[in-house]
Structure 1
């Protein structure tokens, strides 16, 4: 057998995406180039690695075993490269962080300075819903996770980053909520929710339940951006984190509505398993975060504090 590291990388990426198209996009290669390398890799095995069923590509059982072995080989190659850099006096390695979807408005600001300072560190940041983030942490697939609701079933440590504030928002063109009867009006208004597993959805449902509001019109969307655009378009109202609607508030495409019991206040926390054995990269990042956290908040999120203190009609 005479397969190359490039073929291993391509096969692993195809296996992860179960799609040549998506793999080519992530690898910044053309589809024909990926297909050729995949075929050359397959030609070295007497057993099929993939199969196409109903126009979808799947790994065979043998293909799954080869994908796992390939990932291990590539991981060891990366380890050799990082060790070489470390012996040259550079901090090197991967920093892996899972972030709940709304956290994408928060986490990059706490990473930027660190990544600039340590150019040999590679960042892997997975932005997904809360359930997937916690699963990644529990399975030791990441170093850290950013959440606003702490998992009660895991033994974790944490660094509290900053406050997370959620308001009821709607567009200027949406159905006006009667100021005198807002809670009752909300029950009859179309409400837009995140998908199950989202901490924002959980906060919204808890609020509605606490006020005995029975939802009559409900829309469910799978990302914070989708919810925001739906609210801007006037499809309904939603309870959303302030951190993700800065531009829309500034250009008046979203309006905050005052209701009893709002805003909801939680905290953004960077968490990790208490039993986690940190790599030098993870250890250095945690030290950086503790030292620079307040400065980052003051520099990057000063606008956030001013909005949070406002009174809304």
Structure 2
């Protein structure tokens, strides 16, 4: 057999994501490149590693065993790299963070300075919906999670990073200047998918205000909602943090309405009692010292709204 480390890493990512397309996105490769390497890897085995049923990819039992072995090999390679850097006096290790999808507008700014200071640290950041973020935290698959709604069922510790404000938003050209609460049953509302923190917050507002909503659309990402608003398909309650450019370019506008904005908090959370690695402990120390400066430098624009 003559498989490469690259093939092991690609196969492992395909198994973890359950999709060639998602693996390609996670590895910043094209889908054909991943497919070719996956085929080359498969060609070295007489037993199928994966199978496609109804356009869905499944990993065989043999494939799962190979994936487990591949993960052990990849971890050993990381260990060698870490030890080499540590011998040279650099901080090394992995920092694994799971982030709710809208948090992608927040988390990178609280990471960039730390990664620049410690180039030996490998960052693994998974951006997904709230349910999967909480699941990865509960399963101890990550060091930290970034959320805007704290999970009530988990015993956690937290560090608050930044206020999160949600407004009613519409297209600058086609939207009404003023909308009253009773008008909600007349306007098309765009929701995030179930499991999204933004969806939970939006539904909580509607329920609290006893609003009737008759027309609604459901989309699976903040970017998809934004594009629908830009196209004039309706209105949505959105986090301010994700629409900065569109507000500056006067493509979207905030529509004043009683009871908004909704204010929550972006918080970095971890399981209570978790034994932090040296890297994650160092990262918490970094945030304690640097977060006020990061907020002032990167997020002061939020104060004008």
1:44-59 aligned at under 5 Å gives the runs 47-59=47-59
Which residues of structure 1 form unaligned runs of 5+?
308-313
Task: Please give the per-residue CA displacement for 1:166-205, whole angstroms capped at 9, x wherever unaligned.
Answer: 11111133342655xx111122100000010111111111
Q: Following TM superposition, by how much is the alpha carbon of 1:37 offset from its aligned partner in structure 2, in angstroms?
A: 2.8
Q: Does 1:41 align with 2:44?
A: yes
Q: Following TM superposition, by how much is the alpha carbon of 1:14 offset from its aligned partner in structure 2, in angstroms?
A: 3.1
Q: Provide the residue aligned with 1:173 in structure 2.
A: 173
Q: Provide the residue aligned with 1:67 in structure 2.
A: 67
Q: Is the 8 A contact 1:24 1:34 kept in 2?
A: no
Change (3 A) 1:225 1:123: same
**What is the alpha-carbon distance in structure 1 between the residues aligned to residue 274 and residue 130 of structure 2?**
20
**What is the alpha-carbon distance in structure 2 between the residues aligned to residue 137 and residue 21 of structure 1?**
25
Q: Does 1:211 align with 2:214?
A: no
**What is the alpha-carbon distance in structure 1 between the residues aligned to residue 139 and residue 124 of structure 2?**
16
**What is the alpha-carbon distance in structure 1 between the residues aligned to residue 125 and residue 50 of structure 2?**
28
Q: Provide the residue aligned with 1:129 in structure 2.
A: 129
Which residues of structure 2 form unaligned runs of 5+?
none
**What is the alpha-carbon distance in structure 2 between the residues aligned to residue 76 and residue 201 of structure 1?**
41
1:96-107 aligned at under 5 Å gives the runs 96-107=96-107
**What is the alpha-carbon distance in structure 1 between the residues aligned to residue 28 and residue 225 of structure 2?**
30
**What is the alpha-carbon distance in structure 1 between the residues aligned to residue 291 and residue 131 of structure 2?**
26
Q: Provide the residue aligned with 1:82 in structure 2.
A: 82
Change (3 A) 1:256 1:23: closer
Q: Provide the residue aligned with 1:311 in structure 2.
A: none
Task: Please give the per-residue CA displacement for 1:221-256, whole angstroms capped at 9, x wherever unaligned.
Answer: 000111111112111111111111111111111111
Q: Provide the residue aligned with 1:16 in structure 2.
A: 16
**What is the alpha-carbon distance in structure 2 between the residues aligned to residue 99 and residue 21 of structure 1?**
20
Q: Following TM superposition, by how much is the alpha carbon of 1:100 offset from its aligned partner in structure 2, in angstroms?
A: 0.6
Q: How many residues align?
A: 302
Q: Does 1:232 align with 2:230?
A: yes
Change (3 A) 1:19 1:263: closer
**What is the alpha-carbon distance in structure 1 between the residues aligned to residue 102 and residue 18 of structure 2?**
27
SS at match of 1:193: strand
Q: In the alignment, which of 235, 258, 267 is matched to residue 256 of structure 2?
A: 258
Q: Is the 8 A contact 1:174 1:236 kept in 2?
A: no
Change (3 A) 1:167 1:22: closer
- List structure 1 segments (4+ residues) > 6 angstroms apart after TM superposition: none
**What is the alpha-carbon distance in structure 1 between the residues aligned to residue 209 and residue 202 of structure 2?**
11
Q: Following TM superposition, by how much is the alpha carbon of 1:40 offset from its aligned partner in structure 2, in angstroms?
A: 4.0
Q: Is the 8 A contact 1:148 1:199 kept in 2?
A: yes
Q: Is the 8 A contact 1:168 1:258 kept in 2?
A: yes
Q: Provide the residue aligned with 2:200 in structure 1.
A: 202
